[in-house]
Amino acid sequence: MSERNPHSPEHIAIIMDGNGRWAREKGLPRRDGHRAGAESVREVVETCKELKIKFLTLFAFSSENWSRPRTEVQALMALLREFLKKKIPEMSKQGVRLHAIGRLHDLPEDCQEALNSAIAETSSNTALDLILALSYGAREEIVDAARQIACEAAAGHLDPESIDSNSIATRLYTAGIPDPDLLIRTSGECRISNFLLWQISYAEIVITDKFWPDFKAADLRQAIDEYARRNRRFGAI
């Protein structure tokens, strides 16, 4: 079995943007853009596994997305259930282990049940850790971590003087998962959109003009090649 290229990232995070604009350009309903985007997820997951990438985090549904029209939110939740039912079993056979981060209790109950089932089904896999960010917002994540720290300190279980960056990192939704090395955003937008604000402090960022449904294996490889050409100094010379 081949090893991961040492110049490749261990953890890739992707802001999957542009489904709606992709659909609009083609005269299709927005739900068709989201459905086409699900196929890009499948292809990117398969490519990460092939390239021995260990962690892949996908921004699937933000905490702000709840403000979208009810019909679109319902369509997205239906697509999530379909993805978990149909795609995850296929991915599980390939060794993919599923995680989810975010305020998952805000998801519909049937989505939570499907998500918990998929996580349990894939828990022993080791080829690739796929992390879905659902009902996720980075500011909310940091607030939740701060609240947990405050409660522990108030209860006398944590000395405020001992609080450091690791104290926060270990209370984030991503505790135990290495920070992303590479952040990819599709659709040409040059912003982070409240995604993994703590974790991407030293991530390399690659932005592509392609809409997410058009982002395929070749595009992922190109982003990884660009990452490999960069000199990551982490503040040093």
CA distance 122 to 5: 25
Q: Is 225 among the residues known to form the active site? A: no
Note whether residue 6 is domain-resident.
Answer: no
Are the beta carbons of 177 and 131 closer than 8 angstroms?
yes
Q: Which two tokens stand for residue 132?
A: 């879905």
| Per-residue pLDDT reduced to its tens digit, 99-108 | 999 999 999 9
- Is 92 domain-assigned? yes
Is residue 196 within 8 A of residue 213, CB to CB? The reply is no
Distance CA 77, CA 70 (A): 11
Active-site option among 32, 65, 179, 214: 65
Query: In the chain, pLDDT over 70 holds for what percent of residues?
Result: 96
Is 4 inside any structural domain? no
Reported pTM: 0.94
Q: Is 95's pLDDT higher than 80?
A: yes
Neighbours of 120 (CB within 10 A): 10
Asked if residue 63 is part of any domain, the answer here is yes
For the stretch 185-237, pLDDT in tens is: 999 999 999 999 999 999 999 999 999 999 999 999 999 999 999 987 777 66
2, part of any domain: no
Domain that holds residue 210: 11-228
Residue 1 lies in a domain: no
Asked whether residue 234 is assigned to any structural domain, the reply reads no
CATH number at residue 135: 3.40.1180.10
The full length of the chain comes to 237
Annotated active-site residue 17? The verdict is yes
- The answer to whether residue 3 is domain-embedded is no
Q: What is the pLDDT of residues 116-161, one digit of tens each?
A: 999 999 999 999 999 999 999 999 999 999 999 999 999 999 999 9
Please check whether residue 158 is in contact with residue 131, taking contact to mean a CB–CB distance below 8 angstroms.
no
Number of domains in the chain: 1
Q: Which of 17, 129, 181, 219 is catalytic?
A: 17
DSSP string, 130-180: EEEEEEE-HHHHHHHHHHHHHHHHHTTSS-GGG--HHHHHTTSTTTTSPPP
Cα distance between residue 186 and residue 173, in whole Å: 24
- Angstrom CA distances, 8 to 180, 211, 215, stand at 12, 23, 19
